[in-house]
Chains A and B, each alone.
Chain A
């Protein structure tokens, strides 16, 4: 074992990974069960000459992140439940103006103040559709300690590469557990760095389909217009239908052109599986031992664990469903991914879901029971 083997709380792993990925601006408003991230950043960022600001609320937190990101900073905020609800308007601004942002949402029971100290996986659809309007979004769902680290780094890379908000979504159990982790060395990390364009005109949104806007040096004398209103290639507000439709398409396609670079997942025991168990976060950590126990009983179950929840891994699942005709979705909510599964899997695939929203995670035994009954 290397010297970097540590016992760390899940939230602290995320905070450390953010710092290692080059995060140099954090604005947030502490909220259970994400608070340790803000706490850690408040202590560690100043030591590194980086900025931490505690804002007056979550709206201001993401607002500050937007401003800092435009000024070239790598930004992070961390929140949960009600705080994430407050961030939805600025999340939309981030998508519309095409601003790299990384937002941690540690899921707790909801709605409203809900169950602050209990786990949940009920923000699945809020991360996808919480902000209004058609928009692309990237949501990553780590399940293991090493993934809390690697997916945090990946969240920064994806947000920088695609000029889009990226949400790191996990639950209270992973946030609060203290686990052993072999921390990677910083020199071994792949950190994406966007080239700065030296343009002299204003056309920062002028690009072909599948391309990002131009990253420019802000505060270097170029007049730049950034707007939450629909805008033309200069960033100026417009409602001209042709331009509006084009901008919608450009925003979508800069992400959806590159699904292979964004969608990541783990598969366990899938080669000859007859039952596909789909689970993420703490539910995946119950599903994996359940699948292993099922195998010992001679039941051919396999686990599909998405690391990218949105965009949904539709194509790869459809490939799997050409052979596998049973899917069990396990999630700590009243049924959210299950509806996506109904859309993705054809009628000849039998679909079941194991659902619960009372703050108690499923155990491996409970998942096994469902597999056995299937």
Chain B
């Protein structure tokens, strides 16, 4: 197990199609298959999945996970205003919060959050040419900011997971995620 000593809760919020649900699935796979940790992912799955506000809760632990939903979120990434407003409940006062600086502009009370406001979507489009890579960009910035998985394990997993033709682009996505934060 990497750096996990206790339950760690992550929430990704977005609009459907931004690739954020995939980021959650990738993270769970890496924790389970590369780090021998325990992981669980609860995605939203309503009609809103296609174009509407959507979220995925990812729970990681060094022991079997009992309660399957997020209750005190340690790390929140959100790339759109509506899901930000909808899903910012249950954040810890000292949560690490990453928002897209263009698309989430009304933050309200930021409590004692460690806030990172960065142009995730724009930079992904500009530097990688495809918004779908937001998933790997998000995964990578999660790795860097939280350390819940090891960098090496993330890279190994993405190498196995990415289609050969897109491997290079996915590696660039990892680097972009790291450079943004």
Contacts and interface: CB of A to CB of B under 8 A. Distances in A.
Contacts of A117: 45-46
Interface residues of B, number: 21
Interface of A is mostly: mixed
B3 interface: no
A180 B67 contact: no
Given A177-B40, A178-B40, A180-B40, A364 B67 contact: yes
B46 A179 contact: no
Given A285-B66, A361-B69, A365-B71, A173 B42 contact: yes
Interface in A134-188: 144, 173-174, 176-180
A178 B33 contact: no
B28 to A, nearest CB: 5
Contacts of A144: 64
Interface in A271-308: 282, 285-286, 288-289
A1 interface: yes
A33 B42 CA distance: 13
Nearest to A286: B67
Contacts of B39: 7, 179-180
Contact of A178 (B25, B69, B71): B25
A5 interface: yes
Interface string A353-367: 000000001011100
Interface residues of A, number: 22
Given A117-B46, A173-B42, A288-B66, A363 B25 contact: no
A363 B69 contact: yes
Nearest to B57: A177
A285 B28 contact: no
Interface of A: 1, 5, 7, 33, 117, 144, 173-174, 176-180, 282, 285-286, 288-289, 361, 363-365
Interface of B: 25, 28-29, 32-33, 36, 38-43, 45-46, 64-69, 71
12 contacts: A1-B36, A144-B64, A173-B69, A176-B45, A177-B41, A179-B65, A285-B66, A288-B67, A361-B69, A363-B67, A364-B66, A365-B71
